[in-house]
A = this chain, B = another copy of it.
Amino acid sequence: MPASPIRKLVPYAEAAKKKGVKVYHLNIGQPDIETPQACLDAVRNHQMRVLEYSHSAGNESYRKKLVEYYAKNNIQVGANDIIITTGGSEAILFGFMACLDAGDEVIIPEPFYANYNGFAIQADVTVVPIRSNIESGFALPPIEDFEKAITPKTKAIVVCNPNNPTGYLYSASEMETLKEIVLKHDLFLFADEAYREFCYDGNHTSAMHLKGAEQHVVLMDTISKRYSACGGRIGAFVTHNREVLNAAMKFAQARLSPPYYAQILGEAAVDLPDNYFDSTRNEYKLRRDTLVNRLNQMPGVFCPNPGGAFYAMAKLPIDDCDHFCQWLLESFSHNGATVMLAPATGFYSSPGLGKQEVRLAYVLNADAINQAMDCLETALQQYPGRTN
């Protein structure tokens, strides 16, 4: 089991803070956006007397409410197509465990969300990466690359849209391409759509919109980013495939139930006004523009403009992003501050890739991002491992 590439730097950040250095956290997808008051109030005002187990599939009232939420997104599902999970993490794990046998292969365009690897290892499944490139902004690799990677053991493709870590927003035509591949080779399409609402240049195409692929698609969802409710640990496993849902239910039953409190929060969230996401989206767009502009103004830095989520990948003039990110915390400060980034190597499973790249989560406000970019700009001038 690998250590989390994002969390392994935490002790260095803690040490920096103990020295009195302010750390700008662009390393993790923990938004500073406030959780909607109506959601927090729903939990505060709930009149429970016993904090009971919920149904293993989650509270029925919440699942029914989610049906409304999905309908607003042109996704037609019933309450019985949904299992409430403990975070999006568990939805991914259930997908791997319910759909794949030990030794099966799952194709994932890299760079990809590092924890897919951890869940694959838990499920004894092999991740087969297909490379996407920073030069193309991390667009879907050509279909030939998928065809080359498919073996008799291939059972699924994972698509994270908009993407973590790249911020790439897959187009409708790219999603159609994925549909054709999964239909042709009878694969599952695991769709991680945690950032569905955060699209800045174009509309979101859900895997659940792909007509004819209903029995192949498993949606892995979460309220964490959508409502700034990461600590609630509530996600959803959604599919029209009854056999897959029944298999996932066995894992859901083994862990008894998802957490109760944040189901109350998630249920209230569906009743937020329809324009709720507008201000959040505008705020993230401002941050993205600030971040990407600053990065591309730095000599030797390249950052493609991400169309969604709240991540950007940047190529830096450095020898090794793991060294650099640790050095930022251990050996550098600028006006009493430094910046914490996620080394991109943790998002590639092919050894040696991503050594000059970092992921930046624009989860701080524009002022803080500017401060953090001041740190990064200065750091790149001082870093002993700078390349040309």
Contact = CB atoms under 8 A, between A and B. Distances in A.
Interface residues of A, number: 58
Interface string A236-251: 0000000000010111
A28 B256 CA distance: 11
Q: How many copies does the complex hold?
A: 2
Contacts of A256: 87, 89, 115, 230, 233
A233 B53 CA distance: 8
Contact of A253 (B4, B32, B51, B249): B4
Interface string A39-50: 010011100111
B89 A51 contact: no
A163 interface: no
A87 to B, nearest CB: 7
A276 to B, nearest CB: 16
Max chain B C-beta neighbours (<10 A), residue from A232, A250, A254: A254
A283 to B, nearest CB: 14
A229 B257 CA distance: 12
A232 B253 contact: no
B118 A254 contact: yes
Given A3-B253, A118-B250, A256-B87, A52 B40 contact: no
A54 B87 CA distance: 13
Contact of A231 (B97, B257, B265): B257
A50 B251 CA distance: 30
B53 A250 contact: no
Contact of A259 (B35, B50, B98, B262): B262
A128 interface: no
A251 B1 contact: yes
